[in-house]
Structure 1
Amino acid sequence: MNSSITNKTAEFTGFLHEAAGPMHHYVIVVPEDVCLVFREGKGAVRILCSINGAEEFPCALNPRQGGYVIISSKQLIKKHKLAPHVAFNVRVRSDVHDGLQLPEELLEVLTQDDHFSFEFEKLLPGRKRGLIYYIRSAKTVDTRIKRSLEIAEKVKTGSLHGSKQND
């Protein structure tokens, strides 16, 4: 873990912008002075973000056309009732876990299953983030447990969609 990213925070007024390109989606353009607080090299930087003081969610500062943006999912737009070109407050801070903070349910399965733990550690960070997001997106504890157990089985058997053994 990089100790230089532990306490970085920033706030700014955000706006939802339609992104140009083949896929229809929206982004929050991040002001350059905010980006300078977090930038340490090339590529995306993992951060935690809060919109209008709501619960934080993991995301990234993604490079786009000489600047940086936060990609806005349909769920994020709906949850926070965002509309294009309408101002809202954005608070960002460094994600010292790099988007890899484990949900309790997944952590419990990893603790109880050495084989799964070993195989999970071999996954690339982006794959882990995707699985963590999938588990966190469940609304109930029971569903998060069910998803954690399903992922454990698929990782152990190499049947996880996109795994090298499955390709």
Structure 2
Amino acid sequence: MNPEQNFQFTSYIEESNNRLWGQHFIVPAPVVQAISALGEDKRVVCTINGQVEYQCALISKGEGMYIIYVNKARMKQLKLKIGDQVQASLVKDDSEYGLPVPEEFLEVMEQDPEAKAFWEKLTPGKKRTMLYIIAHPKSSDLKIVRALAIAEHLKAFDGKINFRALNDTLRG
């Protein structure tokens, strides 16, 4: 990795006014500008306190301010609370989808060309959402079940995602 592309800075954990996301930290404007200069996509790999690494996006809060969300599990893992200082390191995420791709999903797509063709037409954001749904469980068996359900859903809905119907299928 090129050292010029590893952006390190100090920030502080803040409470988000978005009840869905919880906590975040501000990314300094010079870091945002440097990452933006590397390409339009604002997906990064973030490392907090040299301990936890995850793929995420720089989220615009308006007026040129960008943040990165830190979920409850990461807060707990790092023993962080509101107001704590964090050492952050960001690297441009050049991965295909901006999330790890579960083996189970790759296998299902390899065996189902029709579902794969629909998959390729989804927007990057929808692909990330589907990958997150598949990868979230720890059990490989459950990942396979979810990958198969998404493949069948894509075929049943002509490549469109009906989130309500998909949620019903996944719960069912």
TM-score, length-normalised on structure 1?
A: 0.80
Per-residue deviation, residues 44-87 of structure 1 (Å, max 9, x unmatched): 61111122223422111111132111122233323332211111
Matches of residues 13-162 of structure 1 in structure 2 within 5 Å? 13-20=10-17, 25-40=22-37, 45-65=42-62, 66-97=64-95, 98-99=97-98, 101-158=100-157, 160-162=161-163
1:47–1:92 CA contact under 8 A, matched in 2: yes
Distance 2:81 2:155 in 1: 43
Residues 17 and 84 in structure 1, CA contact (< 8 A), matched pair in contact too:
yes
Shift of 1:22: 7.2
Deviations 1:17-57 (A, max 9, x none): 12346767322101122212201499861111122223422
The alignment's C-alpha RMSD in Å is 2.8
Which residue does 2:167 correspond to in 1?
none
- Runs (4+) off by over 3 Å: 20-24, 40-44
Q: Residue deviations 1:67-122, cap 9 Å, x none?
A: 11112223332333221111122221111125155222111111111011001111
Using the TM superposition, name which of 139-148 and 14-23 deviates more.
14-23
Higher helix share: 2
Q: Which one is further off, 44-53 or 124-133?
A: 44-53
Count of residue correspondences: 158
